[in-house]
Amino acid sequence: MKHFETGQIKNVAVLGHAGCGKTTLAETMLFEAGEISRRGTVEEGNTVSDYTELEHERGNSVFDSVLHLEWKDHKINIIDTPGIDDFAGEIISALRVADTGIMVLNAESGVEVGSEIVWEYTEKFKTPMIFVVNRCDGEKADFDATVEQAKQRFGDAVTVVQYPLNQGRGFNAIIDVLKMTMYQFSPNGGKPQKLPIPASEKDRAGELHNQLIEAIAVHDETLMEKYFEQGSLDEAEMSQGLKAAMIHHDLFPLFCCSAKQDMGSGRILGFLHDIAPSAQDMPPVSRKSGLTLPCDSNGPTCLFVFKTISEPHLGDMSFFKVYSGEVKSGMELINSETGAAERISQLFVMNGKNRSIVQSLKAGDIGATVKLKSTHTNNTLHEKGKPFHISPIEFPEPRITVALHTDNKADFEKIAQAIHHLSAEDPTLILEQSAELKQMLLSGQGELHLNVAKWKLENLYKLKVDFEKPRISFRETIQRSVQATYRHKSNRAEQGSLPKCYVGRTLLRRNVSTAGIPARAATKSMNWNGAAN
Ligand SMILES: Nc1nc2c(ncn2[C@@H]2O[C@H](COP(=O)(O)OP(=O)(O)OP(=O)(O)O)[C@@H](O)[C@H]2O)c(=O)[nH]1
Ligand SMILES: [Mg+2]
């Protein structure tokens, strides 16, 4: 593999609602770049990205998949993310290291709830975004309605760069209003013919071209002046303005394609190559100290682990982004969390489960290594004597909790150990031994998320476990005191040992659940002593 300088590396995360075509698009991009010679399909379970048994069984992505390809003189790292929000941890990790997000929309169903959820994350990270309206070959494809919805939900910064000439079953041409060209595909897709825009489309293409220029110029005074002077901007000026506007999250260019028919992905790669920002174009990464670290390949070596895979037969594999300097195989780096030294024995670039050995990776690049002793997701590795601690990824709080049950009590220890590994891999999975409930509690992002953990315990660790509702622990909270008078009849009182009537204190109480599920309304009554009955 060639050596790539920081400015020649682009990191993109493919995002969007489940089933919109992210994995198919990533596969098509690998094929177009010549990284693979045959395109796999999700249906056949042979895509580079969805390579795990679980993903084959489910027919959709569950984990981030790190891919890479070469496009002209650049390296494009692609992280294909799962579309289901239960795997928010995977989506957030990918966004943390991506310098551009590709939000894939389904032309047949428009903007879906998953796209809106992902959008909230991208707003937090301020990731430069492009939109890709996929499935333009679908029978019910409605490009205009999808764009309309995208503008409504994500704002007018969504700006059309391409539109399909003939969406639906016969889809085979795209009009590009940045290049002012028509791309026409043969039935097998692939490299298109570049043709002049047909006369029937000249007005629409011209109008969208002007809208694109105005959307670019409005964010740049110099370009705005030029636009007023010349009445237009040339492609180089538009590209320069587009890049700046993308970096500032001011403009989201929109493309269209059919990933399945291999129509349009090459032009998207071309755009990523020409215009998408590299890591050094982006603001420097923040450090725990509040300071920042510029992305400079001549700086001290510093990398950040954003993902860990831990499988019984494979061991641990750590995925990282180089934030500064250059990492070389054989280097010794320090874990800023533990102070432990870690030797980078081998360096890899990945395509799903396939690894290629490389000797070094420069700032801005993404790679993987194995056999780190005590380094996990969210850890920083730095050169000895040049300490940096990159701000960790903030993972979302758990949304659901279950209690673990096993018929074989002796397995609990093994289950706890296995989940410890799973949590190192996925920090949104949290195990807690509740002394109060006398139960082992597992929390995560949703039912599917926890079921995936169960699947892994059963299939990878061969441990049988069942989920149960956590017990509810009732606690009594003294909220206030009240005065009450009542008559107490007592035989002994009659005998003169206690007063016949006195002022007593009553406890008002509130039920509190500790199991992370809403407290149930109190159904129990209390006796005089305050004990539940
Ligand atoms: N007609 C048509 N079908 C497509 C296209 N792209 C993807 N599909 C189909 O849509 C389905 C889902 O595709 P995926 O690539 O798995 O979608 P995804 O977004 O990765 O899905 P998740 O990983 O589950 O979020 C598959 O059956 C694909 O064959 C397309 O451009 N046109
Ligand atoms: Mg997928």
Per residue in 278-321, pLDDT tens? 999 999 999 999 999 999 999 999 999 999 987 666 668 999 99
Regarding the beta carbon of 259 and ligand 1, being less than 6 Å apart is answered: yes
Give the residue, by CA position, lying nearest to ligand 1 atom 24: 60
Do residues 102 and 84 make contact, with C-beta atoms less than 8 angstroms apart?
Answer: no
Regarding the beta carbon of 179 and ligand 1, being less than 6 Å apart is answered: no
Q: Rounded to the nearest whole angstrom, what is the distance from the C-alpha of residue 471 to the centroid of ligand 1?
A: 41
271 and 347 housed in the same domain: no
Q: d(Cα 42, Cα 50) in Å, to the nearest integer?
A: 8
| Residue 496 clears pLDDT 90, i.e. is over it | no
CATH number where 414 lies: 3.30.70.870
Q: d(Cα 234, Cα 362) in Å, to the nearest integer?
A: 33
262 and 303 housed in the same domain: no
348 and 311 housed in the same domain: yes
- The pairing of strands 501-507 and 466-468 is unpaired
Q: With respect to residue 146, please indicate whether it lies within any of the assigned structural domains.
A: yes
Q: d(Cα 417, Cα 309) in Å, to the nearest integer?
A: 15
303 and 378 housed in the same domain: yes
Q: What is the mean pLDDT of the chain?
A: 89
Q: Rounded to the nearest whole angstrom, what is the distance from the C-alpha of residue 45 to the centroid of ligand 1?
A: 12
Which of 50, 260, 265 is the best mutation target for the ligand 1 pocket, counting ligand atoms within 8 Å of the beta carbon and taking the most? 260
363 and 453 housed in the same domain: no
| Residue 393 clears pLDDT 60, i.e. is over it | yes
Regarding the beta carbon of 20 and ligand 1, being less than 6 Å apart is answered: yes
Phi/psi at 197 (nearest 5 deg)?
-65, 130
Give the residue, by CA position, lying nearest to ligand 1 atom 2: 135
Type and span of the H or E element at 133: strand 129-134
Supply 136's token pair: 């333009």
The pTM score is 0.88
Regarding the beta carbon of 375 and ligand 1, being less than 6 Å apart is answered: no
31 and 124 housed in the same domain: yes
Q: With respect to residue 497, please indicate whether it lies within any of the assigned structural domains.
A: no
108 and 257 housed in the same domain: yes
Q: Rounded to the nearest whole angstrom, what is the distance from the C-alpha of residue 525 to the centroid of ligand 2?
A: 52
**Mean predicted confidence (pLDDT) in 453-469:** 92
Regarding the beta carbon of 189 and ligand 1, being less than 6 Å apart is answered: no
Give the residue, by CA position, lying nearest to ligand 1 atom 26: 42
Q: d(Cα 519, Cα 314) in Å, to the nearest integer?
A: 43
Type and span of the H or E element at 416: helix 412-425
Which of the two residues, 474 and 381, has the higher pLDDT score?
A: 381
Give the residue, by CA position, lying nearest to ligand 1 atom 23: 61
Q: Rounded to the nearest whole angstrom, what is the distance from the C-alpha of residue 59 to the centroid of ligand 2?
A: 8
30 and 121 housed in the same domain: yes
Ligand nearest to the CA of 84: 1
- For residue 343, the tally of other CB atoms under 10 A from its CB is 14
Regarding the beta carbon of 44 and ligand 1, being less than 6 Å apart is answered: no
Q: With respect to residue 236, please indicate whether it lies within any of the assigned structural domains.
A: no
Q: Rounded to the nearest whole angstrom, what is the distance from the C-alpha of residue 24 to the centroid of ligand 2?
A: 7
Which of 42, 55, 57 is the best mutation target for the ligand 1 pocket, counting ligand atoms within 8 Å of the beta carbon and taking the most? 42
Regarding the beta carbon of 49 and ligand 1, being less than 6 Å apart is answered: no
336 and 260 housed in the same domain: no
| Residues 6+ away with beta carbon under 8 Å from 290 | none
Domain coverage including residue 443:
400-468
Which among 168-172, 409-413, 521-525 has the top mean pLDDT?
168-172
CATH number where 125 lies: 3.40.50.300
Phi/psi at 180 (nearest 5 deg)?
50, 55
pLDDT value at position 311? 65
Regarding the beta carbon of 40 and ligand 1, being less than 6 Å apart is answered: no
Ligand nearest to the CA of 51: 2
Q: Over the stretch 9-20, which tens digit does the pLDDT of each residue have?
A: 999 999 999 999
Regarding the beta carbon of 137 and ligand 1, being less than 6 Å apart is answered: yes
Closest ligand 1 atom, residue 16 Cα: 19
Out of 468, 495, 519, pick the residue that ends a domain: 468
Q: Over the stretch 100-148, which tens digit does the pLDDT of each residue have?
A: 999 999 999 999 999 999 999 999 999 999 999 999 999 999 999 999 9
Phi/psi at 420 (nearest 5 deg)?
-60, -45
In the 8-state DSSP scheme, what is residue 349? E
Regarding the beta carbon of 19 and ligand 1, being less than 6 Å apart is answered: yes
Categorise residue 147: left if φ over 0, alpha if ψ from -120 to 50, beta otherwise.
alpha
Phi/psi at 439 (nearest 5 deg)?
-140, 155
Out of 409, 439, 468, pick the residue that ends a domain: 468
Q: With respect to residue 237, please indicate whether it lies within any of the assigned structural domains.
A: no
Q: With respect to residue 307, please indicate whether it lies within any of the assigned structural domains.
A: yes
Q: With respect to residue 119, please indicate whether it lies within any of the assigned structural domains.
A: yes
Q: Into how many domains does the chain fold?
A: 3
60 and 74 housed in the same domain: yes
Q: With respect to residue 188, please indicate whether it lies within any of the assigned structural domains.
A: no
Q: Rounded to the nearest whole angstrom, what is the distance from the C-alpha of residue 365 to the centroid of ligand 2?
A: 23
Out of 317, 352, 382, pick the residue that ends a domain: 382
469 to 401, 402, 464, 475, 512: CA distances (angstroms): 8, 6, 17, 18, 16
**Mean predicted confidence (pLDDT) in 182-195:** 97
Q: Rounded to the nearest whole angstrom, what is the distance from the C-alpha of residue 59 to the centroid of ligand 1?
A: 10
Do residues 29 and 78 make contact, with C-beta atoms less than 8 angstroms apart?
Answer: yes
Q: Is the dihedral of CA 70, 71, 76, 78 positive or negative?
A: negative
84 confidence band (pLDDT: 50, 70, 90)? very high
264 and 291 housed in the same domain: no
Burial grade of 161 (CB within 10 A; 0-12, 13-18, 19 or more):
buried
Closest ligand 1 atom, residue 24 Cα: 15
Q: Is the dihedral of CA 255, 256, 260, 266 positive or negative?
A: negative
Q: Indicate the residue type of 315.
A: G
Q: Indicate the residue type of 416.
A: A
Q: With respect to residue 516, please indicate whether it lies within any of the assigned structural domains.
A: no
Supply 63's token pair: 């984990």
Do residues 159 and 211 make contact, with C-beta atoms less than 8 angstroms apart?
Answer: yes
Regarding the beta carbon of 45 and ligand 1, being less than 6 Å apart is answered: no
Regarding the beta carbon of 132 and ligand 1, being less than 6 Å apart is answered: no
Of 31-40, 104-113, 135-144, 500-509, least confident by mean pLDDT is 500-509
Supply 390's token pair: 């990159």
Nearest-10 Cα torsion for 160, 163, 28, 262: -170
363 and 457 housed in the same domain: no
| Residue 519 clears pLDDT 80, i.e. is over it | no
CATH number where 315 lies: 2.40.30.10
Of 50-59, 296-305, 516-525, least confident by mean pLDDT is 516-525
Q: How far, rounded to the nearest angstrom, does the alpha carbon of residue 255 sit from its chain's CA centroid?
A: 21
Regarding the beta carbon of 138 and ligand 1, being less than 6 Å apart is answered: yes
| Residue 422 clears pLDDT 70, i.e. is over it | yes
Q: Over the stretch 199-226, which tens digit does the pLDDT of each residue have?
A: 999 999 999 999 999 999 999 999 999 9
Q: Rounded to the nearest whole angstrom, what is the distance from the C-alpha of residue 141 to the centroid of ligand 2?
A: 20
Regarding the beta carbon of 47 and ligand 1, being less than 6 Å apart is answered: no
Regarding the beta carbon of 221 and ligand 1, being less than 6 Å apart is answered: no
In the 8-state DSSP scheme, what is residue 383? -
| Residue 188 clears pLDDT 70, i.e. is over it | yes
